[in-house]
Amino acid sequence: MSDHKIVVIGGVACGPKAAARIKRLNPKADVTLIEKGEILSYSGCGMPFYISGEVHDHNELMQTPVGVVRDSHFFKVVKDINVYNRTVAEKIDRQNKIVHALKIDTGEKLEFSYDDLVLATGSETVRPPIPGIDLKGVNILSTIEDARKIKERVSKFKGKNAVIIGGGLIGIEVTEAFVKQGMNVTVIEKEDQLLKNLADPEISIHVRRELMRNGVKLAIGQTVKEIKGDDSSEVSAVVTEQETFPADIVLVSIGVKPNVKLAQDCGLEIGITGGIVTDEYLRTTDKNIYAGGDCAENKNRLTNEVIYTPMGSTANKQGRVIGDNICRRNTKFPGVLGTAICKVFDLTIARTGLTEKQCREKDINYVTVLTPSPDKPHFLPDAKLIIIKLIAENPSGKILGCQVTGYGEAAKRLDIVVAAMSHNGTVFDLENYDLAYAPPYSPAMDNIIVAANIAENKITNTGMSCTPAQVKEQIESGKDFIFLDVRSPQEYEMMRIEDERVKLLPLGKLREKINELPKEKEIIAFCKISLRGYEAQRILEGEGFTNVKYMDGGVVCWPYEKYVKA
């Protein structure tokens, strides 16, 4: 295959990975990479950390682990890949297998013939038609050039006002970056919660609290009407339907869409998500053209549905698969689970699989677990809280999704679930995983195993529970029930849910005073994390009570108003 010609369009993640894989498998292949920007093969996900100052030089985002910058010279000398950066691919002639391109700096027209073509054209930031969006100081974050421009602006207006339009992953990460640079930050999100596509409300609420704890002003459920500027066309304010927020810099981050113009123009099939349609080998509807990364559709491994989930990790994996298949290895890409993770100051939030909202929409019979606990034994001084929400099909126990948030080790727990889900694992499998245990790393019964045990209890009707949202609904509807707090009086004084239905009866006194509880009423027991709440449910059922539940997650996971002693 020494005369095998491959052209790769796109030089950020999927494209360079595919090109490098091809050269490793077939060193004699003739590989050309076309990139419209100046900078190649960089970590786009690292840009918020460059803006924050944690990454000191943007070149670090382009370096190999040993510090070599992956520029065009590197790709030619080390990889033997011909790189044409600052070059725009304008047209694909599929019949003659030619890519027509334009050299940006000189206007020179170029033609590249190919045997196989890789489309890794990425995504485009959505720019809504907001009046004033073209003012100076209004930014998007798509490339390193964008990041450098933002950082220069922040340096100029350090200590002043930044407004972020959009409460998704990029918006939240840049929020922290702006705060670390001393800016007064406001986040405007038109939906009723932050990270709405990432997590369910009882998990994402902790992001909201962490942002507020760090001085971020939130405008949730507000729609931007206009961006105002001064006489010099510099941004000065962002106006919503309810408020006006002063702004010296604005980031518009409401999402991205696949960049498919080249594919569309040459007649390749575009799917319902707007991405390029590919098969399991990442071939497009032209057998000599492959596509991967943010420009292509994906398949959900759980549901087999077509989805659009642009992630740098996925782009790199797909680049490798494309490289394999161009070299005739017949490697399949199995799809994705929608795994994502985000750092929000000291808090982590992560998810994989389906959310509860998605399970309801698909009419799946499921159980949920909401369990908070320290990430290692409580007796260690560095133990930190994490909250796990696990979702499993009922009665099969198949794991459908997981969300984790907290200040402790969240990624480890989520990745365990990803591994289980990748092999159609159930909670019955998960509860017996032989995970590494020592006190510096986890409790003897790891948090995720506890979550699996709780799910099993629910599926087998051993543990009957309700969610905080269900309890809240009962309270607001005026339902008459006993909300049984089985903590100690000291705990009650420090933090409590205040409602006339709450009855304080410590677990150690429950058997002694059980006759004080009416058997004809519904009882919902809870404690700090609802371990004792579950114990109370079992005790009461053993004494003949027939309408008893415990509340998932206890006071810690109660996302609504509660008394906390200052």
How far apart are alpha carbons 309 and 288 in whole angstroms?
24
Is residue 356 within 8 A of residue 402, CB to CB? The reply is no
Residues in the chain: 566
DSSP three-state, residue 61: helix
- Cα 131 to the center of its chain, rounded Å: 30
Collapsed DSSP state (helix, strand, coil) of residue 445: coil
Residues forming beta bridges with residue 226, ordered by sequence position: 239
- Report the C-alpha gap between 214 and 345 in whole angstroms: 8
Looking at the DSSP assignment, which residues form a beta bridge with residue 186?
Answer: 163, 217
258, 308 contact by CB (below 8 A):
yes
Is residue 435 within 8 A of residue 449, CB to CB? The reply is yes
Q: Is 45 an active-site residue?
A: yes
Cβ–Cβ < 8 Å for 274, 258: yes
14, 45, 327, 466: the active-site residue: 45
Residue 267 tokens, joined = 């007649």
For the four alpha carbons of 241, 245, 249 and 253, in that order, the dihedral sign comes to negative
**Beta-ladder partners of 92:** 99
* Strand pairing category for 256-258 and 249-252: unpaired
Neighbours of 273 (CB within 10 A): 17
HEC secondary structure over 117-140: EEECCCEEECCCCCCCCCCECEEC
Give yes or no for a contact between 86 and 102, defined as CB atoms under 8 angstroms apart.
Answer: no
What's the one-letter identity of residue 514? I
Q: Is 543 exposed, middle or buried (0-12, 13-18, 19+ CB in 10 A)?
A: middle
The amino acid at residue 273 is T
Residue among 512, 514, 519 nearest 548 (CA):
519
Amino acid letter at 104? I
Alpha carbon distance 277, 268 (integer Å): 8
Instruction: Please give the positions annotated as active site.
Output: 45
